[in-house]
Structure 1
Amino acid sequence: MSQPVAGRPSYAAVLRLPHARRTFAAALLGRLSYGIVGLSVMLAVTRSTGSYAVAGTVLALFGATSVFLSPFRAALVDRHGPRTALLPMALLHAGLLGALAAATWRPGAAAPVLGALAAAAGAAAPPLGPSMRAVWRELTDEPALIQRAFSLDSVAEEMLFVSGPLLVGALVQILPPAAGIAASALLVAVGTCAFVLSPAVRNMRPAAAGRAAGDSPARGRGGPGLIAPLVAAGVGLALGAMDLLVLAFAAERHHGDAVVAWVLAALSAGSAAGGLLNGAVTWRVSARVRLPLLAVGLGLALAAAGLAPGLVTLTAAVACAGFFVAPALTTAYLLADEMAPPERRTQAGAWVNTAVNAGISGGTAAAGLLVGRLPLGVCFALAGGVTLLTALACAVQRPRKAVSTTGGPVPEPLTAPRDAGEPAVR
């Protein structure tokens, strides 16, 4: 654990934690793979098979196994430690991606083979995001520093998913799209190796070893509960719906496709600004209280976007909606980390990741069914309304008490400690 930081901690103080920069850089390098692999698989399979339907199916198989098996892979990290669990996953994942790249390098690949390789590769994807958030908790026990670390982590991860497709676009100008898959394999292998070799990770004990040594963590009944994943799913639904609704808005007003990229860039810019501001503020209310309020802000901004009379006002409304995205996700991660016992922290974060991605898929699918059947403003309002409903469900859900290993109840903290900016929370 770090030494206490005098005064108000900053993002610079987070990066000055022992081994933080090395570990964080390695985790980001590995996570960049996830920012480029989706588009690379889509382009490579389309070129190899000549079928968009096959490409969509292969990518869906990769996404399904990657997302929905993430909590189970994270449980392996909690049980055996990151060094023991992550490295075999990363090497297997990289090897399967390499095989997929080789299979799609030339035309004529068999669709069943591509589907099997993609599904297997997704199933082995190492949960680097949840693992890095667990490492932040190991690096410091100061709530204010943890809040800033999680905010910095969320914003950096979002920037990877913005820059990843741009890198793929540059790469396919000189190489076949399959090279993007190969680059993903290299990034996840190198990044994960560097991550697990960092002293911050190398010294982490698996949960079983901690309990054997006499640790007595508080054990929550049912882990982190449904609050954080529920709101994360609502945020994901808003994001998935927003992408398609912005595209429909541009088509309806006869704007070009390039306009969509600029509007979604405003979403990312708003999210980054909101995330950094959220991390810098010294909050006096708990993550449990803040989370539904942030979801309400996102839902209202999304509904208001449906009233935009033109492109400029739509862009402003989308940027306002983005202002709540990173803070909501960061707070969901903080709440999951706060409510989970120490031996399940990686898995708790993975459940939030799974909920976000499931929400994005569901939001995109629902928006696709509604667009063309209902006015666009109504579609925006419905997407915002569903996000508001998740906030309401979170607000009315009574927090469950944790149970310590000695049998006594451990009440959930609802206010921040007097000397910290964050209560004791991809």
Structure 2
Amino acid sequence: MTHVSTHASEEQLHEPSLLRIAGFPYFLIAFIARLPFAMMVVGVLTVVVAARGSLSLGGLTSAAVGLGTACFGPLLGAAADRFGQRAVLVVLALANGAMLLLFTLVVYGTAPDGFVLLAAVGIGATAPQVAPLSRSRLVTIIGERMPESRRARTVSGTMAYESAADETVFVFGPFLVGILASAIAPWAPLVGAAALTVLFVGAFALHPSGRHVSADRDAAGRAPSAVSDLFRPQLLIVVLGILGVGIFFGTMLTSLTSFMADRGAAEQAGLLYGVMGVGSAALALGVAWLPAAFSLRARWLVFSGILLAGTLLLGFVDSPATMMVALGIMGIGIGPTLVTQYSFGAARSPRGRSATVMTMLGSGVVVGQSLGAAVAGEIAESVGTSAALVLPMVAAAIAFAAGVANWFLSREHPRQASVKG
């Protein structure tokens, strides 16, 4: 018996880890390649306000970037599933770099505001979906090259890392924009984002893993699943839930900025928001170590419930200190909720369509964020901060309600669902 168990443990030691299969350079390249996307929305806002002197146009332009991503993101994911990631990403890296430079020229030129908005949509439409495509790439590798007994836990750990990487980048991206805009000029963040896009998205596209196409696809690139499989209630409820999380991000940052502006310290909103971001990223990583008995559908309910409880405290905050407490509680809920939703997306992807599903989820976050920020900004300005602070509660309630619906839609145990490429 001892000999058998020793032999089994030795086999486990020799089983390749995802880090070894993909390689450390992959994770470094994929991390840096996300930065331009995190810089775009804030960079666009910064340069429009500086060049055109209009905060209103700046907000509309940021929303236009989100609109472009929302409309074209899932289509780009479908193209990556159909033709492979490498070809699609190489084209996008060059196109997006060019659009960022073109946008900068249009903003500083004499073109009407309508052209500025059109160029912003172009930035969003060509935005390389590095984060969703990285998730899809890794999930496909896990499904095809790792033992079945380790897939569910490895997918959970991978989604935890990817979500933590996203959160880190979305905190660091705006910070980098601020440094470049202050040290050089308002146009510098967009030129920097263009350079990073061509170099690092290009490197992400050309990485050996980019050649990897799901074995579920035939020689002509066709998937065995129908497009209609993307519209099953079990998958759409995940999209709705992640939309709620996106709306939360947009409404929370905007209403927090209004809250701090009322106290004459609008520039400190980012620091307070970082309290939630750091906690969220740390807890997101911790999801990988949760016991298997704590099922995915239960995690969604528990952590979105914590998020909802944290937002309800916004009705009572009266100082930056009490706001920090509320944000700390929200941070405990938001990261693990996002990880769980992406894990459901991976488990429920129709065969051969994981890139499409991951870009649907990624676009859900972007759409929610853009929509939430626009609505919260308008309400904060016309009605007041207290009214704007109700919006994160509504967003958290959407995420929680989707979790309740998901509980009843989860017929099989999600942990035991096969990982699909």
TM range (shorter): 0.7 to 0.9
Q: CA deviation at 1:309?
A: 4.2
Q: Which runs of 5+ in 2 are unaligned?
A: 1-9, 144-150
Offset, 1:222: 2.4
Which residue of the other structure, out of 224, 234, 243, is the alignment partner of 2:244?
Answer: 234
1:6 equivalent in structure 2: 12
Structure 1 residue corresponding to 2:76, chosen from 38, 55, 73: 73
> Do the aligned residues in 2 keep the contact of 1:48 with 1:107 (CA within 8 Å)?
no
Amino acid at match of 1:413: E
Q: Deviations over 1:180-231 (max 9, x none)?
A: 1111111112122211221222232586436879x96799462562221111
Aligned to 1:21: 24
TM-score (norm 2): 0.84
CA RMSD of aligned residues (A): 3.2
Q: Is residue 2:251 matched to residue 1:245?
A: no
Deviation at 1:295, TM superposition (A): 1.6
The alignment status of 1:97 with 2:100, answered yes or no, reads yes
Q: Please identify, of 181-190 and 243-252, the stretch whose mean Cα deviation from structure 2 is larger.
A: 243-252
Give identity over the alignment, percent: 22
- Aligned residue for 2:152? 143
Contact 2:307 2:333 in 1 (8 A): yes
Shift of 1:133: 0.3
- What is the distance in 1 between the residues matched to 2:374 and 2:114? 24
Taking a change above 3 Å as real, the CA distance of residues 350 and 5 of structure 1, as seen in their structure-2 partners, is farther
Measured after TM superposition, the shift of residue 391 of structure 1 is: 2.0
The 8 Å contact of residues 133 and 355 in structure 2, kept in 1 or not, is answered as yes
For residues 321 and 365 of structure 2, the distance between their equivalents in structure 1, rounded to whole angstroms, comes to 28
Q: Report if the CA contact (8 A) 1:93-1:121 is conserved.
A: yes
Structure 1 residue 26, shift from structure 2 partner: 1.9
Structure 1 residues 118 and 260 mapped into 2: Cα distance closer, same or farther (>3 Å)? Answer: closer
Q: Secondary structure at the match of 1:204?
A: coil
| C-alpha contact (below 8 Å) 1:304/1:317 kept by paired residues | yes
1:413 counterpart SS class? coil
Q: Describe the SS at the equivalent of 2:173.
A: helix
**TM-score (ref. length: structure 1):** 0.83
Aligned residue in 2 for 1:37? 40
Instruction: State yes or no: 1:333 paired with 2:332.
Output: no
For 1:164, what is the secondary structure of its paired residue? helix
Give yes or no for contact 2:139–2:155 (8 Å, CA) kept in 1: yes
Per-residue deviation, 1:169: 1.6
Shift of 1:256: 1.7
Match of 1:113 in 2: 115
Of residues 314, 323, 348 in structure 2, which corresponds to 1:314? 323
Q: 1:212 & 1:101 partners in 2: Cα distance?
A: 37
Residues 358 and 415 (structure 1), Cα distance of their counterparts in 2 relative to 1, 3 Å cut: closer
| Equivalent residue, structure 1, for 2:132 | 130
Show the counterpart of 1:52: 55
Task: Quickly say closer, same or farther: Cα 1:389–1:221, change in 2 above 3 A.
Answer: closer
Mapping for residues 112-191 of structure 1, pairs under 5 Å: 112-141=114-143, 142-191=151-200
Cα deviation, residue 397, structure 1: 5.0
The question of whether the paired residues in 1 share the 8 Å contact of 2:84 and 2:212 is answered with no
User: 1:101 corresponds to which letter in structure 2?
Assistant: T
Residues 369 and 33 (structure 1 numbering): CA distance in 2 closer, same or farther, change over 3 Å? Answer: closer
Q: Which residue in the other structure is 1:416 paired with?
A: 415
Secondary structure of 2:94's aligned partner: helix
Q: Which residue of 2 aligns with 1:405?
A: none
CA–CA separation in structure 1 for the residues paired with 2:208 and 2:360 = 27
Go from structure 1 to structure 2 and tell me whether the alpha carbon gap of 1:111 and 1:290 turns closer, same or farther (over 3 Å shift): same
Indicate if the aligned counterparts of 1:286 and 1:413 stay in contact, CA closer than 8 A. Answer: no
| Equivalent of residue 364 in structure 2, options 350, 355, 359 | 355
Pick which of 18-27 and 230-239 moved more.
18-27
Kept after mapping to 2: 8 A contact 1:231/1:292: no
User: What one-letter code is carried by the residue in structure 2 that aligns with 1:6?
Assistant: Q
5+ long unaligned stretches in structure 1: 402-411
Match of 1:209 among 193, 198, 218: 218
Kindly tell me the number of residue pairs found equivalent between the two proteins: 401
Residues 257-266 or 31-40, more deviating: 257-266
* Structure 2 residue 274 is the aligned partner of structure 1 residue 265: yes
Alpha-carbon separation, structure 1, partners of 2:256 and 2:359: 29
Whole-Å separation in 2 of the counterparts to 1:423 and 1:202: 23
Equivalence for 2:405: 396
C-alpha separation in 2, matches of 1:5 and 1:100: 55
Deviations 1:104-150 (A, max 9, x none): 4x564543433332222321112111110011113323221111111
CA gap 1:256/1:155 in 2 versus in 1, 3 angstroms: same
Matched AA of 2:302 = L
Query: 2:153 corresponds to which letter in structure 1?
Result: A
8 A Cα contact 2:248 2:396, kept in partner: yes
Q: Cα 1:59–1:175, aligned 2, differ >3 Å: closer, same or farther?
A: same
After superposition, where does 1:381-392 map in structure 2 within 5 Å?
A: 383-392=392-401
Change (3 A) 1:154 1:20: farther
Q: What is the alpha-carbon distance in structure 2 between the residues aligned to residue 42 and residue 394 of structure 1?
A: 34
